Amino acid sequence: MKQGERKIVVRCAVYTRVSTDSGLEQDFNSLDNQREASEAYIKSQAHEGWKLVRERYDDGGFSGGSMERPALQKRLDDVRARRIDVIVVYKVDRLTRSLADFAKLVDLFDAHGVSFISVTQAFNTTTSMGRLTLNMLLSFAQFEREITGERIRAKVAASKRKGIWMGGAVPLGYQVENRALHVIESEAEFVRALYRRYLELGSVVRLKAGRHWRYYASRAALSGRWKEVGSVVRIPAPEIENLIANAVGAHLAARANAIDSCHIDHGGGRGDCAITQNESGRMRRYLPSENDVRNAIDRATVGATRIEIILNESIIVEGQDRVLTLPWTRSSSRRRREIIQGAGEAQGPLRAMRTKARDSFIGALRDARRWLDELLIDPAQTIESLAMREHKSERSIRMTVSLAFVSPVLAKAAMEGRLPRGFSVKRLTDLPMLWSEQWRAVGLREPIQAELG
């Protein structure tokens, strides 16, 4: 560099994506691997003035077949704001698996002077040969995605025809064993009673006692036009209504309270002013009523990453934008498992107990409760007779039966897989009878608020 020349800084942003959220709780996951390789590549180009933008653009659990990804949308907003010069990804399919979406992205990048780099695939989007290479790669990526989808759908359909459980929320009254649904007799009668009661009343509302659940649904979905359905099919009404009402109310209050001069109401009438005066003469801030908020909204559109609120023209001041935009993502129906921390241990990442150990505990607990019921109901039934019938030792029967006296909170944590790695049936047998002492015996801290629902 010649003396007096200014060094050019190339702002580089790393984008990472993985299709599923499985394994993201690990200390070093797929997103970390992609980011580490991309940052190393940027560092190797430091002599060209490349500098890493510290803003993270990570989409964990989002498909590459859709553009509705929070981090991707945030990154595109930064591209439009000209905060980024180069986008670095581990592979091109991390950015998108759709050829049509890729063409749109390249047009956007070109319009804002942004280059696109893949760490593991050598090409340059500024040349015709680089574009040809990219189009070929994305064509194969899209083909692979479509073929994989067809294969998975065919496998799921064939498995269902054979009665194999393919995952999802297990219906009330059933349990999964060997990938098949089996009736839980202790819950079956409750389910049958619900159906009998529903047939008597003829209405779900009259059945969980007049309570209503309100939802907003896509118009395309309601009319059966599934190909036109967007990223959000149905959402709970109270959640969206509260967000919109709070945003519009804050907007109205901020606008009214920013007025420099207005009529001051000295008592009786309300008037249309933004500021009023109470009896002590002190000024109080304007708070919009529910009716004010309702009348201020013309339309609201909910997307995968944002809510756009169109304000009524009657309240718009000249030069003011009618659109309010709120960042929003749908609440996940799945909750990450919160692994119970060991007593006296420093807070840190823990690995959950193995699935095999959890399944073994569930089976042993089921046996323990069944055998305990038999011992209590049938006076002729003994540990010895159970051992002979089950082809087990008497000690094995006694140790298993002790699981029936495990704290409900501790048992629930084990069944949900929220105990740390290393816990098994053996570690949870023959515990003290007092529940609080059971936690100390296994070396765990008892949760402050335990929900058994």
Instruction: Dump the DSSP string for 263-315.
Output: --B-SS--TT-S-EE-TTS-EE-----HHHHHHHEEEEEE-SSEEEEEEPGGG
Partner residues linked to 420 by β-bridges: 352
For range 273-298, the mean pLDDT: 65
- Segment 235-249, tens digit of pLDDT: 888 888 888 988 888
Instruction: Dump the DSSP string for 219-235.
Output: HHHHTT-GGG--S--EE
User: What does pTM read for this prediction?
Assistant: 0.38
Exposure on the CB side of residue 14, measured as CA atoms within 13 A: 24
Quote the Cα angle for 87-88-91, to 5°: 125
Domains observed in the chain: 10-145 (3.40.50.1390), 174-228 (no CATH), 235-327 (no CATH), 355-441 (no CATH)
- Segment 193-206, tens digit of pLDDT: 889 988 988 887 77
- Segment 21-32, tens digit of pLDDT: 777 767 788 888
Contacts of 122 (CB under 8 A, 6+ apart): none
Check pLDDT > 60 for residue 3. Answer: no
Question: What pLDDT is stored for residue 84 in this prediction?
Answer: 92
Question: What pLDDT is stored for residue 278 in this prediction?
Answer: 46
Partner residues linked to 301 by β-bridges: 308
Chain mean position to CA 140: 30
For range 426-442, the mean pLDDT: 83
Exposed / middle / buried, residue 105 (Cβ in 10 Å: 0-12, 13-18, 19+): buried
Give the residue among 255, 311, 312, 245 at the shortest CA–CA distance from 285: 255
Q: Which helix (H) or strand (E) holds 175?
A: strand 174-177
Check pLDDT > 80 for residue 373. Answer: yes
Residue pair 51/11 in contact by the 8 Å Cβ criterion:
yes
| C-beta contacts of 275-283 below 8 A and 24+ residues apart | none
- Segment 123-164, tens digit of pLDDT: 666 567 767 776 776 677 678 778 887 888 888 888 888 878
Please say whether the dihedral angle defined by the alpha carbons of residues 152, 157, 159 and 165, taken in this order, is positive or negative: positive
Give the residue among 113, 112, 118 at the shortest CA–CA distance from 96: 118
- Report how far residue 138's alpha carbon sits from residue 205's, in angstroms, rounded to the nearest whole number: 50
